[in-house]
Amino acid sequence: MRVILAPMEGVVDHLMRDLLTAQGGFDLCVTEFLRVVDQLYPERSFFKICPELANGAKTPSGVPVRIQLLGQSPEWLAENAARAVALGSPGIDLNFGCPAKTVNRNKGGSVLLKEPETLYAIIREVRQAVPAHQPVTAKIRLGYDDTSLMLENARAIEAAGATELAVHARTKRDGYRPPAYWEQIALIRSEIGLNVIANGEIWSSDDAKRCQAVSGSTDLMIGRGALACPSLAAAIKGLAPKAPWEAVQALLKRYSQFEIRGDKGLYYPNRLKQWLQFLRLQYPEAEALFQKVRTLSDKEAMLESINP
C-alpha cells in the first residue's frame, strides 16, 4: 500500500510537508499547483513551490515530492513539465480537479472534466515532453456537474499514456461535502488498466480500510485527514497508533519555529489558526487552543498561547 499526501494549495507547503512526512507512513507528496497559462516559468518559480528541489526533491525525512501543474494549454504545460522534471521533480502531476472559480474561468482544473479530448491532448503532450521513465500522473474528480463523462475521461487519460490516476471521489458540484463516492472509483477501475489512487473523506484507519474495500484501490491519498491527525498515514499502515495531543502540541511548536523563521512569518497567525481548525476535528485540546487564539493576530501573543 502507498499513502500519498494530497496537494492542498495555501495549506500544505514545504513546511507542512516536512512536519507531516516526519510522522512516517507517507510514500509521496504532491505540491500545491503551479498555474500555467502561456509562459515557461523561470527556475525560481519551481523552487518556490517546491523548495525540496534543492534536496533532491525529497522532504527532510526522505519522501519524494512531485510538482503539480494546472492549466489548459498542452504545449505550455509540456514545456513547464519538462523543466520541472529537469530540475529534479520525480515526474509530474496534472490537476484536473480544482474547483476554484478563477481557475475554471481560465479553463484549468475541474472544468476540463467536461472535455475528455482536452485531457487527452494535455496528457499526451506532457507525456512526450517528459522522459519515459518519469511518471506523468493525473488527479481528477468524478466529473464537473455530474458523472456522465467519468469513464470517458478515465479512458482518455489512460489512452494518452498517463502512469496512474488519483481520483477525488466527488464531482466539482459536490465541492467538499461528504460523502465521497468511493464506489465510483471501483467503476473507473473496472474500465481502465491504470493504477487508481483513491482520495476523499479518509479521516481514520477505519475509513482507509472501508475506502480500500469499496473502491478496490490499495493506494490512498489523504489531505484534510492528515492535517486533522498528523499521524494518520502511519496509523493507516499500522506503523504507529494515533499520536497523543502532547506529540501534536510539539508539532505546533515546531511549526511555529518554522513559520517565524521562514518568509511566511507574517502569515503565521492565520496559518496556525487554519491548522488548528483541522486539528480540532480530532483533538478536543486543539478546539480549546483555537478558542484561545482565534481573536489574536499578534505573533508573539500566539506563541505565548502555544507555550504557556
Ligand X SMILES: Cc1cc2nc3c(=O)[nH]c(=O)nc-3n(C[C@H](O)[C@H](O)[C@H](O)COP(=O)(O)O)c2cc1C
Q: Nearest to residue 95, comparing CAs of 228, 235, 199, 208?
A: 199
Whether 162 contacts 116, CB under 8 Å: no
How close are the terminal C-alpha atoms of the chain, in Å? 40
Considering only residues 221-250, where is the footprint of ligand X by CB under 6 A?
Answer: 222-225
CB of 22 to ligand X, least distance (A): 19
172 makes contact with ligand X (CB under 6 A): no
Residue nearest ligand X by beta-carbon distance = 223
Among 127, 139, 189, 237, binds ligand X (CB under 6 A): 139
Buried (b) or exposed (e) across 224-245, using 16+ Cβ within 10 A?
A: bbbbbbbbbbbbbbeeeebbee
- Map residue 236 onto helix, strand or coil: helix
Return the DSSP state at 265.
G
Specify the stretch interacting with ligand X by CB under 6 A; choose among 3-11, 75-83, 182-190, 254-262.
3-11
267 makes contact with ligand X (CB under 6 A): no
199 makes contact with ligand X (CB under 6 A): yes
- Is 229 part of the annotated catalytic residue set? no
- Map residue 25 onto helix, strand or coil: coil
CA distance 23 to 226: 10
9 makes contact with ligand X (CB under 6 A): yes
Q: Angle, nearest 10°, between helix axes 245-261 and 284-293?
A: 40
Residue labelled with grid coordinates 491548522 = 275
What stretch of H or E contains 21?
helix 14-21
202 makes contact with ligand X (CB under 6 A): yes
Specify the stretch interacting with ligand X by CB under 6 A; choose among 15-23, 114-122, 197-205, 247-255.
197-205
CB of 246 to ligand X, least distance (A): 25
In the shown chain, the binding pattern of residues 60 to 99 toward ligand X, with x for contact by CB under 6 A and - for none, equals --------x--------------------------x-xx-
Give the CA dihedral 207, 209, 215, 220, nearest 10 degrees: 80
Whether 207 contacts 221, CB under 8 Å: no
User: How many residues bind ligand X, per CB under 6 A?
Assistant: 23
CB of 138 to ligand X, least distance (A): 10
Considering only residues 108-137, where is the footprint of ligand X by CB under 6 A?
Answer: none
CB of 196 to ligand X, least distance (A): 14
CA distance 172 to 298: 36
13 makes contact with ligand X (CB under 6 A): no
CB of 94 to ligand X, least distance (A): 9
Residues near ligand X, by CB under 6 A: 6-11, 32-33, 68, 95, 97-98, 139, 168, 176, 199-202, 222-225
> Which positions are catalytic?
98
